Amino acid sequence: MDIPYTVEARRDTGLTNGKIGIWLFLASEVMLFGALFASYILIRTGAHSWPKGDTILNVPMATFNTIVLITSSITMVMAWASLMRRRFGTFRIYMGATILLGFVFLVVKYFEYSAKFHHGLYPSSNNFLALYFTLTGLHMLHVAGGMAVNAYLWGAGSKLWKTNPVWFTNRVENSGLFWHFVDLVWIFLFPTLYLL
Amino acid sequence: MESMTSDHAADIGDHDAADIDRHVRVYITVFVALMALTIVTVAVSYLDLSPAMAITVALFVATVKGSLVACYFMHLISEKKLIYAVLVITAIKFVALLALPALTHGNGLWIHE
């Protein structure tokens, strides 16, 4: 049996099932990260002293990573726009760039983590680092998850383009929604952890 | 194959090239704005503002950036009502979640030390 409403919108919602599904998932993600941000506020306001992020963390590296993620967001949306223009080759280039930029983000993060560990700074060291590693660690898992889906859509999953281009385009749009959300979370994580 | 005549989902059929070109120009403008605001965020952190002021400015700029991503890259500027309904409920619960520490901290609304 085929999954219903992957191409045409349901009459009552005006949406494809995939679209409403991804938004409900993102709503649950808002609450997941929201709980961690609430923990951050609780722990920070309850602390006698709190380090300014830039005294412990590497701001230039994080600024670079912010630029990387924002760039990956525009390549993601351009990948979708390429499909809307029926240019599959261009889609491949933009989607490939998106995956590559996600990889660059993770590599920079690896160097950041390594430097912390090298200096004996672990999640157990203090509350600030516990929050830093939990929040950025969960965010990194999201980057990796988004990359996996995007890699599937770039590779094996792109066969769908030949048989049902509208369905494929909708899949890319939904994957993009998740990817932009991951970018959005970082936009808040960056100043909260590194600059304040 | 399913019908491709309904609105929204059948974007490929409905949008003409000029329409997409206009979208792309908006995406590029948003991208430039996001880059500029990233520079602003980092620059402001060097200004030696008071903690309260620094937090206010940083979160304001982050909110503007986040809104740009949500409205344009995530197409929330022109989305269906059901998505807005889901997000309004989410926003209310998110604010309640963030307010929880403030309410329970010290001599908060419910906890008396």
Average confidence (pLDDT) per 10 residues, chain A, 196 residues: 87 94 98 95 88 93 98 98 96 98 98 97 96 98 98 97 96 98 98 93
B-chain residues within 8 Å CB-CB of A49? none
| Window 93-122 of A, Cβ < 8 Å to B | none
Candidates A1, A2, A8: best to mutate against B (most CBs of B within 10 A) is A8
Q: Is A163 exposed, middle or buried (0-12, 13-18, 19+ CB in 10 A)?
A: exposed
Closest-CA residue to A20 (of A9, A30, A34)? A9
Q: How many CB pairs under 8 A join A and B?
A: 167
Instruction: Confirm or reject contact between B89 and chain A (CB < 8 A).
Output: yes
Q: Which residue of B has its CA nearest to A187?
A: B62
Which pTM was predicted?
A: 0.91
pLDDT of residue B43: 93
Return per-residue pLDDT of chain B as tens, 113 residues.
444 444 444 445 556 778 899 999 999 999 999 999 999 999 998 888 888 899 899 999 999 999 999 999 999 999 999 999 999 999 999 999 988 877 765 555 555 54
Domain ranges of chain B: 1-79, 80-113
Assess contact for A149 and A99: CB atoms under 8 A. Answer: no
Does A7 contact B4 at a Cβ distance shorter than 8 Å?
Answer: yes
Instruction: Confirm or reject contact between B49 and chain A (CB < 8 A).
Output: no
Does B54 contact A196 at a Cβ distance shorter than 8 Å?
Answer: yes
How far apart, in whole angstroms, are the C-alpha atoms of residue B33 and residue A158? Answer: 32
pLDDT of residue B59: 93
pLDDT of residue B51: 85
SS3 content of chain A, % helix, strand, coil (to 5): 80, 0, 20
Assess contact for A70 and B31: CB atoms under 8 A. Answer: yes
How far apart, in whole angstroms, are the C-alpha atoms of residue A10 and residue A14? Answer: 5
Q: Is A105 exposed, middle or buried (0-12, 13-18, 19+ CB in 10 A)?
A: buried
Minimal CA separation from A117 to chain B, in Å = 25
For chain A, which domains are there? 58-195 (1.20.120.80)
Does B83 contact A23 at a Cβ distance shorter than 8 Å?
Answer: yes
Rounded to a whole number of angstroms, the CA Rg of chain B reads 21
Closest-CA residue to A145 (of A193, A181, A169, A173)? A181
pLDDT of residue A62: 97
- How does DSSP assign B81-103, residue by residue? HHHHHHHHHHHHHHHHHHHHHHH
